[in-house]
Structure 1
Amino acid sequence: MGRFEASCTAAKEPPQEPPVKRSRLWDWLQKSTEAVGDGREVLSPAAENAATVEGPVAADTDFMDNEETGEALEDGFGEEEAPATGAEESRSLKLGGLAPSTTLLDITRVVRGGIILQMFVRPWNGTAHVSFVEPVAAKKFFEHAKMTGLSIKNRSATVEWELQQAYLNNDLAFRIDKFGATRNLVIRSVRPEMTAEAIKLDLEHIFNLWIVDITFKDGDAYLSLNRTILALTARNCMRSRRRYRKMTI
């Protein structure tokens, strides 16, 4: 056979595809496949659960088997974080019958007995929603308000438990317990040109952050905010700006 004929014969032969690299998940699914009487194939429950996981799976992803359930886990998939201590208890209250002009500052002047985790007002329906860090503090305030009554801005207000309670996750609970995180911030040794309006402009981009009040005393600025988690965000934001770098927050 000449060179020309050999080249033509080689051209007619279909090119061989490289071997497909299968992931360990693919092999595991194939081994978990069971045959039924009519010739169809179905997946075992564990394999079916793994096959319906949303999102692409990398071919080289390492999987490990859960010894108790037999299900595949990837980067902790299937593991649910346990709620923080007291997370199942009630800590959120709804205050009703408020005047449309009621502000969060008015709420802080009345709500006492514990550290506030978060709060916000809804002027259109005359309600305020307050969550305490400690459920026992919420219970004591609720009982006190029911027994003695509650008045905000010379107007009688109602108090009841929220239908949807605020959840305190483990990470935020750790920051509160270990580092004393609250919804309030202190900026030490502020510059004379730094005003309350300037601070508000620096924080206005943070979604759902409400500045309750800003006061100055002995060269320090005291910020009262509406949520503990957003106070941490505001602190990190200010520390990243040049004008706050020489200040302690």
Structure 2
Amino acid sequence: MPNLQAPQERRTLYFSGLSDRTTYKDLLSVVKGGKVLSVNLRSDRSATITFWDGAAEFLAWAKRNDIYLHSKRVEVEWAARQYRIKGHISNKILGGSTRNILIRNAVSNGITEEQIRAEMDHIHNLIIIGVTFNSGDAYVYTNSVHNALFARTCMMSRTAYKGCKVEFFRDECDVPLPVPVLKGKAPLPGPVKKQHTMTNRFDLLNIEGDENGSDEENRAPVADVSDDDGTVGLMTRRGVRLDFLDSDSV
């Protein structure tokens, strides 16, 4: 098989400003855009992650979109020391190897998480990030492709795994970078239209007259002459009738 070694481009990123509570799982949860060759957490609250592909794209994305872990902003930049991929590792990755191991029929063969961790504990620099079970199969997440290759070889040599098929499954970081959701601006409120009510201008006069009391009303009498009794009647606006005798009728 030809040696299809990946070009030695920059692929290792340096993460700083991590919270002291940050775990491997926490860090990898914000990494997207390509396969991860290795990840290493350091005691000085920093980390390095080497990508098989997509490192430059992830760095550009991280510069545009702030990354926070445990309420702390994480700085991302190129690492001073870049990881150089060996030819045989490149060939394995091109053949489908990842840093994640799939143990088929693990449950039916009595394989447990505690057993997996104990039997892989002797592998130098191997970090088992997590173990999950689904449909009787065990999914083992590790920190590097190189260590996962060694762990798989070790498993296949042990009697406990003879009834299991040990292979690799997809890197959870090998998914497209998130597309930021642009929030639309709320439309500016239009001018508030005042509600105009139709009023009768004579009603205003009546209201004013009511407030001024009965003096205004008494200044505007309505005369009513009765031919029958010779009296002059004054009708006020309140509807009170005042009758006076005519001088001739006295």
Q: In structure 2, what residue type is equivalent to 1:163?
A: A
Q: Partner letter of residue 31 of structure 2?
A: V
Comparing both chains, which one has the higher relative contact order based on Cα–Cα distances under 8 Å and sequence gaps of 6 or more? Answer: 2
TM-score normalised according to structure 2 size = 0.63
1:83–1:125 Cα change, 3 Å: farther
List per-residue Cα deviations over 1:46-68 (Å, max 9, x = no partner): xxxxxxxxxxxxxxxxxxxxxxx
Name stretches of at least 5 consecutive residues in structure 2 with no aligned partner.
167-250
| Structure 2 residue corresponding to 1:133, chosen from 18, 39, 52 | 52
Equivalent residue letter for 2:106: V
State the distance in 2 between where 1:138 and 1:217 align: 31
Query: Residues of 1 paired with 2:19 and 2:65: CA distance?
Result: 20
Structure 1 runs (4+) deviating above 6 angstroms are none
Aligned to 2:27: 107
Q: Secondary structure at the match of 2:13?
A: strand
Q: Is the 8 A contact 2:5 2:87 kept in 1?
A: yes
Q: Which residue of 2 aligns with 1:162?
A: 79
TM-score (ref. length: structure 1):
0.63
Kindly state the Cα deviation for residue 169 of structure 1 after the two structures are TM-superposed: 1.3
Q: Is the 8 A contact 2:131 2:139 kept in 1?
A: yes
Q: Percent identity?
A: 34
2:144 equivalent to 1:227 = yes
Q: Partner residue of 2:106?
A: 190
- Residues 1:195 and 1:83: Cα distance change in structure 2 (over 3 Å): closer
- Residue 180 of structure 1 aligns with which residue? 96
Q: Secondary structure at the match of 1:163?
A: coil
Asked if 1:97 corresponds to 2:17, the answer is yes
Q: Structure 2: how far apart are the matches of 1:100 and 1:241?
A: 37
SS at match of 1:182: coil
Q: Distance in 2 between the 1:182 and 1:215 partners?
A: 17
Residues in 1 aligned to 2:160 and 2:62: alpha-carbon distance in whole angstroms = 44
2:93 & 2:115 partners in 1: Cα distance? 28
1:238 alignment counterpart: 155
- SS at the partner of 1:110? coil
Partner AA of 2:102 in structure 1: V
The equivalent of 2:119 in structure 1 is 202
Give SS of 1:230's match. helix
Task: Determine the C-alpha separation between the residues in 2 that align with 1:184 and 1:219.
Answer: 17
Task: Give a deviation string over 1:109-147, Cα, whole Å, max 9, x none.
Answer: 10001000000101x31101100002xx00011000011
Aligned partner of 1:219: which letter? G
Name which one, 1 or 2, has greater alpha-carbon Rg: 2
